[in-house]
Amino acid sequence: MKTVEIYSDGACRGNPGMGGWGALLSFNGQEKRILGYEAETTNNRMELMASIEALKTLNQPCHVILWTDSQYVKKGMTEWLAGWKAKNWRTASNQAVKNQDLWQQLDLQAQRHQIEWRWVKGHAGNYGNEIADQLANQAIDQAQKAN
């Protein structure tokens, strides 16, 4: 099984507002950079989209080390997801899970792989995280220029 390292990040200008996501995928010394944009979104949705889209690019099951600077994404996948699913997408306080559509997509993508979810401090000079952040902001910049 191939081991792929992924750094994912989301950005939003206004929350809600214009948003972008980016991811850096590394395998065997090769890098792939992906990015995307949404006109009206939230930072949390962009953090989720970065991980979803990165995992979608993998065309076979892989061992994935997925780095995120979002505790929301990491804790969602490692601590909260099983409980949400058991409670029919309700939180411990019986509220509807926010961003359920994206959590379900991420769960579906994650099931294809063996994933180690890891947290990295954002804006702290980590190469992969800095690239993912640049990609997320580049997506917003490109969309603004196009409009």
Q: Where are the domains of the chain?
A: 3-146
Fold of the domain built from segment(s) 3-146 = Nucleotidyltransferase; domain 5 (3.30.420)
* Averaged pLDDT for residues 101-117: 98
pLDDT in tens, 3-53: 999 999 999 999 899 999 999 999 999 999 999 999 999 999 999 999 999
What whole-number percentage of the chain has pLDDT above 70? Answer: 99
Is 9 annotated for ligand binding? yes
CA–CA distance, 131 with 114 (Å, rounded to integer): 24
**Residue 147 pLDDT more than 80?**
no
> Which pLDDT score, from 0 to 100, does residue 36 have?
98
Confidence of residue 83 (pLDDT cuts 50, 70, 90): very high
Residues annotated as part of the active site: 9-10, 47, 69, 123, 133
Is 101 annotated for ligand binding? no
Task: Please give the mean pLDDT across all residues of the chain.
Answer: 96
Is 141 annotated for ligand binding? no
What whole-number percentage of the chain has pLDDT above 90? Answer: 94
